[in-house]
Amino acid sequence: MKLYVCWGTFPVPWPRRGGSWRPGAHPCKKAYDALKEAGHYPEVVKSYGLASLPDVTSGRKEVKRLTGESWVPVLVLDDGEVIKDSKNIVAWARRTRPEAPAERRPAMPTDERPDRATAIRLYRSAAQGYDRRTRALQGYRRRAVERLSLSPGETVIDVACGSGTNFALLQERVGSEGQIVGIDLSPEMLAQARQRVAENDWGNVTLIEAAIEDFDLAVLADAALFSLTHDVLQSPGAVANVLAHMRPGGRVASFGSKSAPRWAVPVNLAVRAIARRYVTTFAGFEQPWLQLQKAVDRLEVESVALGGAYIAWGSIAEQPRQ
Ligand SMILES: C[S@@+](CC[C@H](N)C(=O)[O-])C[C@H]1O[C@@H](n2cnc3c(N)ncnc32)[C@H](O)[C@@H]1O
C-alpha cells in the first residue's frame, strides 16, 4: 500500500540549528498515524508542493492521475483501490486491521541468522520498483559477472536471482547454447524474472521457485553468481547446496554490501539504511563472503563503493576437500 503525502509524516528541518518540525495537526500526519496505529505500514511517497500550484513532483503527478486532483493525502491499496482525503483514510484505517500478522511489516534485520519467512514477506513489497531502485548497482553486477570468466555454452546458477537483473549480463557470456538457472524464494520477484525472460524470448533460462537451501537440479553448473545475496551467504545450508550443484573447479563470484571501516561512519549509516530494506540479518556484515571462502581455493576480495560493498570471486577445488 502507498500513502502520498506532502508534509507531516517526517520531521522537517527547522531553521534554528539542530531543530526539526513535525506539524501535529497536519492531515497527512493524521492519516499516516492512523494507519500505523492500526498496524499498516504503507510505503510513504513524499509529494511536496501545494495543491494550488503546478504539479512538479512525480508524486503529485501520480496523485493527479489517480484522483484527477492534486490534493494529498491519498492512499492506494494493494488491490488498486484509491482512498482520498485524510478523514476517509483515518476511517478506513480504524475499521481495517491487517488480515494476519504475516501481512505486518517484517521485523527489522537483526544479528540473528537469516529468516526465510521474513524474506518472503519483505520482497512481497520490495519487488515493486526493485529494478529501478537498484539500477545504479548494475555496474557492480557487471563486474561480478566478469569475474566468473564464463564461456559460451556454460551453465551458470544465478543464486537468489530476484527479478533477473543479471540475466542479460549472463546471456552476453554464455550465449544461447549456454544455460542460466535462476533460483529465488520470492514469488513476486520471480514473476518479474519470468516476465523478463518472456519479453526477451530467452529459451535457455530455467526459473525455480525455491529456497537456495532446498533446490535440486539434475545438472552440475560451471559457475554460480551471488549478486546481492547477503541472507543466502549467511546460511551455511544454502551455500553448501549451491556448491553441491557445481562441478569441481567451478567458479563463484559475489557482489554485495558490507560494513565499511568503523571510521567511515556516513558510509556505514547509508549502507545499513539501504540494506535493511533487502536483508533479514546483519550477521556477517563485516565479511559477508566467509561461508563462501571456506569452500573456495582462494577467494579474492575487492572492496568497492568507499568500502560499503565488495566483489569476491574464486574457484572451488578440483578435488573435494578432505
Ligand atoms: C537483493 S535481492 C537480489 C536479487 C538479484 N540477485 C540482484 O542482483 O538484484 C535478494 C534476493 O534474495 C532472495 N532470497 C533471500 N533469501 C533467500 C533464500 N534463502 N533462498 C532463495 N532466495 C532468497 C530474495 O527473495 C531476493 O529476491
Q: Are 24 and 150 in a shared domain?
A: no
Task: List all residues 6 or more positions away from 274 whose beta carbon is below 8 Å from its beta carbon.
Answer: 257
Q: Are 178 and 266 in a shared domain?
A: yes
Ligand 1 pocket mutation, candidates 133, 196, 231, criterion most atoms within 8 A of CB: 231
Residue 110 pLDDT greater than 80, yes or no? no
Q: Are 72 and 193 in a shared domain?
A: no
Ligand 1 pocket mutation, candidates 167, 194, 232, criterion most atoms within 8 A of CB: 232
Residue 171 pLDDT greater than 90, yes or no? yes
Q: Which pLDDT value is given to residue 9? A: 55
Q: Are 165 and 36 in a shared domain?
A: no
| 76 close to ligand 1 (CB < 6 Angstrom) | no
| 165 close to ligand 1 (CB < 6 Angstrom) | yes
- Give the pairing of strands 82-84 and 74-76: antiparallel
Task: List all residues 6 or more positions away from 76 whose beta carbon is below 8 Å from its beta carbon.
Answer: 1, 2, 3, 4, 66, 82, 83
CATH of residue 269: 3.40.50.150
Residue 289 lies in a domain: yes
Q: How far is the CA of 287 from the centre of ligand 1 (A)?
A: 18
Q: Are 281 and 171 in a shared domain?
A: yes
Distance of CA 52 to the CA centre of its chain: 36
Instruction: Give the integer Cα–Cα distance in Å for 13 and 31.
Output: 21
pTM of the prediction?
Answer: 0.70
Q: Are 179 and 34 in a shared domain?
A: no
- 90-107 pLDDT per residue, tens: 999 988 876 544 444 455
Q: Are 77 and 185 in a shared domain?
A: no
108 backbone dihedrals φ, ψ, rounded to 5°:
-65, 150
- Ligand 1: which atom is nearest the Cα of residue 159? 6
Among 63, 89, 105, where does a domain finish? 105
Nearest C-alpha to atom 13 of ligand 1 is from which residue?
160
- Give the pairing of strands 221-227 and 246-257: parallel
The closest of 315, 319, 317, 290 to 150, measured between CA atoms, is 315
The pLDDT of 32-45, averaged and rounded, is 77
| 229 close to ligand 1 (CB < 6 Angstrom) | yes
Residue 154 lies in a domain: yes
Ligand 1 pocket mutation, candidates 133, 138, 185, 225, criterion most atoms within 8 A of CB: 185
Q: Which pLDDT value is given to residue 168? A: 98
The pLDDT of 61-89, averaged and rounded, is 89
Q: Are 199 and 310 in a shared domain?
A: yes
Instruction: Give the integer Cα–Cα distance in Å for 271 and 282.
Output: 11
Domain that holds residue 179: 130-315
- 184-241 pLDDT per residue, tens: 999 999 999 999 999 999 999 999 999 999 999 999 999 999 999 999 999 999 999 9
Q: Are 146 and 21 in a shared domain?
A: no
Q: Are 38 and 166 in a shared domain?
A: no
Q: How far is the CA of 318 from the centre of ligand 1 (A)?
A: 28
Q: Which pLDDT value is given to residue 28? A: 84
Instruction: Give the integer Cα–Cα distance in Å for 169 and 155.
Output: 14
Q: Are 138 and 217 in a shared domain?
A: yes
Residue 322 lies in a domain: no
Residue 321 lies in a domain: no
| 226 close to ligand 1 (CB < 6 Angstrom) | no
State how many domains the chain has: 2
